[in-house]
Amino acid sequence: MGMRALIWLALVTQMLGLVHAEERTGVVERKRKSEVNITVSQLPETLDPVAASNFQHFLLLQTVFDTLVRFNDAGRLVGSLAKRWNVEQDGTLYRFELKPEALFHDGTKVVAKDVAYSFARHFWPGSKSAVASQLKDILEGAADLPQGATPSGIRVEGERVVSFKLKAPYASFLSVLTMPGYSVLSRAAAVDGRMIGSGAMVHHHLAQEKGWRLERNPRYHDGAAKMQGFMVRQDADFPHMVSAVASGETDMAMGVPPVDAFSTPPTGRVRLIQTKSLVFIHLFLLPRNPLLQDREFRRGLAGLIYSIFKQRRFRVASQEFTPYFIPMGIMPRGYYERTFPETTAEAFAQKWHHGAGDRKLRIMLRETYFSREALAELRGAFARAGLEVALEALTPQNFHPMLDSRDYDLISIPYMSNFPDPDGFMDYLHPGRLFPADFKPSRDLLEALRRIPAGTHSKARLDLYAKALRTFEDEWYVIPLFNVGLPMLCAPGLHIPDTNYRFEAELRGIYWEAPEAP
């Protein structure tokens, strides 16, 4: 190597060292100030709880807003805005008394009218609420609610008392209220187009920096956040996520694509954390195609898909093959003690070769959850089975428009429950949510679940749920596939709270474990 090249190499090395030192100094400075830089793959345009649609949005909601009740770190249901509550009239009336010390970020009191308004917005015409279906058929007066009205089942009984009247007892009602979508916001501010909450962090939209600044709320009523502040920006590019954490530009990256994270796991200063969350990936079938109106064909198709994904090499490392609608560990053991169909492409082709009509299927899969090897194997298997399949990739950006269009035959849906109960996984089965409003199998399932007495002992209740669910699952309009652990990237020394069952658990629980010298 010539002298000029040696000099150039030395200069480059020195420059890289200076850049690294500056970035490392940035990390040290954030630790000194108790601040954390966070990236999410989808930064919401608004923090309106009604508009929240994914777990990253829910995570941000939980820092800025409060719900009436929440699950604490031990998994126990405790009051958040609610000081206390009573259950009356055989489990159909819930009355909540609000904490007098609870204040919105503008200093105004949280009152019962704010609670009623926050809930009512989910049921107004045109609402895109991701959680409305959990209560729409449960809460009196929530269905077909006119714009601006309050459901008859929500009553303001004083400045700090609000009640909810249900059509029938509902064992999971309090658990549903923990969902971040049912956060409470200031009615007066929302009418003016401002989203003001009462949570542990105050948010500021930084338009020029294209991000959110979250600052500790000094008047928070339920335990201060461990950090002074968070800077939240968007980053959906996996290589850049890794380099940003490695360099010290970012301390924590959310929404990391599982396929990328586990196929080429980062090393060095970047920690890869796999959360243990209540996320499933299932395939949902729409009965618009004559092929899919035949139960045996649907079952055979499930067997063909299972023959691929039961093999470890076609699954991402964070995916556990669980061909059950409800994730493992929630239902009684007997629910999971069942066989699932398996068939080869050749056996499928032999059985269905005489079938008449169009043999085309349009299948939409979320690209971040399926490896290239798995997609190639699926395409080959479908071709050998005599099916003409258009296998198309869904991105986070086009997922919801495609879901709403119903222009597909099968679609993969990732879904996360906020609480470990079967009721937390019923959202996509509600009429009109995914299946047509008159879709009999899902309507029959939900009706069977509603007939189970709310006072039934927990084990007996889950046994009855298991029976109803298996009847529905045996129709094969849903092909359950995986439980999924969601990956995060973070810097050394950053403590992430236990996320079991609560991935959108509190950012306020994050903290730097120890100071680091420059």
> Three-class SS string for 413-470?
EEEECCCCCHHHHCHHHCCCCCCCCCCHHHHHHHHHHHCCCCCCCHHHHHHHHHHHHH
Neighbouring C-beta atoms of residue 375, cutoff 10 Å: 15
Predicted model pTM: 0.83
Q: In DSSP terms, which residues pair with 221 in a beta bridge? A: none
pLDDT over 90 at 133, yes or no:
no
pLDDT at 20: 47
Assigned token pair, 473: 């699952």
Task: Write down which residue in 191, 216, 238 finishes a domain.
Answer: 191
One domain, residues 303 and 433: yes
Residue 22 within a domain: no
pLDDT at 72: 79
> Do the bridges between strand 211-216 and strand 494-495 make them parallel or antiparallel, or are there none, so unpaired?
unpaired
Task: Write down which residue in 191, 222, 242 finishes a domain.
Answer: 191
Q: How many domains does the chain contain in total?
A: 3
Q: What are phi and psi of 336, to 5 degrees?
A: -90, -5
Among the listed residues 420, 403, 421, 404, the one whose alpha carbon sits nearest the alpha carbon of residue 412:
403
One domain, residues 270 and 309: no
Read off the pLDDT band of 362 (50, 70, 90): very high
One domain, residues 228 and 355: no
Measure Cα distances from 471 to 136, 424, 442, 474 in Å.
Answer: 24, 19, 10, 5
How far, in Å, CA of 460 to CA of 377, rounded? 42
One domain, residues 367 and 241: no
> Do the bridges between strand 82-88 and strand 93-98 make them parallel or antiparallel, or are there none, so unpaired?
antiparallel
> Do the bridges between strand 229-234 and strand 35-40 make them parallel or antiparallel, or are there none, so unpaired?
parallel
Neighbouring C-beta atoms of residue 90, cutoff 10 Å: 11
pLDDT over 70 at 17, yes or no:
no
For residue 208, the domain's CATH number is: 3.40.190.10
One domain, residues 316 and 260: no
pLDDT over 50 at 14, yes or no:
no
Residue 270 within a domain: yes
Instruction: Please identify which residue in the block is written with the tokens 């401002």.
Output: 194
One domain, residues 172 and 123: yes
Residue 23 within a domain: no
pLDDT at 67: 96
CB 178 within 8 A of CB 71: yes
Residue 58 within a domain: no
Q: pLDDT digit string (tens) for 201-226?
A: 999 887 666 788 999 999 999 877 88
pLDDT over 50 at 2, yes or no:
no
Q: Which amino acid is at 102?
A: A
Q: pLDDT digit string (tens) for 46-82?
A: 889 998 877 788 888 889 999 999 987 777 889 999 9
One domain, residues 240 and 285: no
pLDDT over 90 at 509, yes or no:
no
Read off the pLDDT band of 515 (50, 70, 90): low
How far, in Å, CA of 129 to CA of 52, rounded? 7
Task: Write down which residue in 175, 191, 207 finishes a domain.
Answer: 191
Task: Provide mean pLDDT across the span 324-335.
Answer: 90
Task: Provide mean pLDDT across the span 273-286.
Answer: 83
Neighbouring C-beta atoms of residue 152, cutoff 10 Å: 12
Beta strands in 188-243 (DSSP E): 201-206, 211-216, 229-234
pLDDT over 90 at 329, yes or no:
no
Q: In DSSP terms, which residues pair with 212 in a beta bridge? A: 205, 232
Q: Give 3-state DSSP helix, strand, coil % of the chain, rounded to 5.
A: 35, 20, 45
pLDDT at 99: 97
For residue 77, the domain's CATH number is: 3.90.76.10
One domain, residues 468 and 329: yes
Residue 1 within a domain: no
For residue 303, the domain's CATH number is: 3.10.105.10
pLDDT at 379: 94
For residue 232, what are the domain limits? 28-44+199-277+486-512
> What's the burial of 509, exposed, middle or buried (CB within 10 Å: 0-12/13-18/19+)?
middle
Read off the pLDDT band of 355 (50, 70, 90): low
One domain, residues 292 and 311: yes
One domain, residues 169 and 203: no
How far, in Å, CA of 239 to CA of 395, rounded? 17
Read off the pLDDT band of 452 (50, 70, 90): confident
pLDDT over 80 at 253, yes or no:
yes
Q: pLDDT digit string (tens) for 405-427?
A: 889 999 999 887 777 889 888 88
pLDDT over 90 at 240, yes or no:
yes
Q: How far is CA 454 from the centre of its chain?
A: 26
One domain, residues 145 and 172: yes
pLDDT at 357: 56
Mean pLDDT of the chain: 86
Q: pLDDT digit string (tens) for 27-40?
A: 777 887 789 999 99
Residue 214 within a domain: yes
Residue 389 within a domain: yes
Task: Provide mean pLDDT across the span 278-291.
Answer: 88
Task: Provide mean pLDDT across the span 474-493.
Answer: 90
pLDDT at 84: 97
pLDDT over 70 at 177, yes or no:
yes
One domain, residues 263 and 289: no
Residue 12 within a domain: no
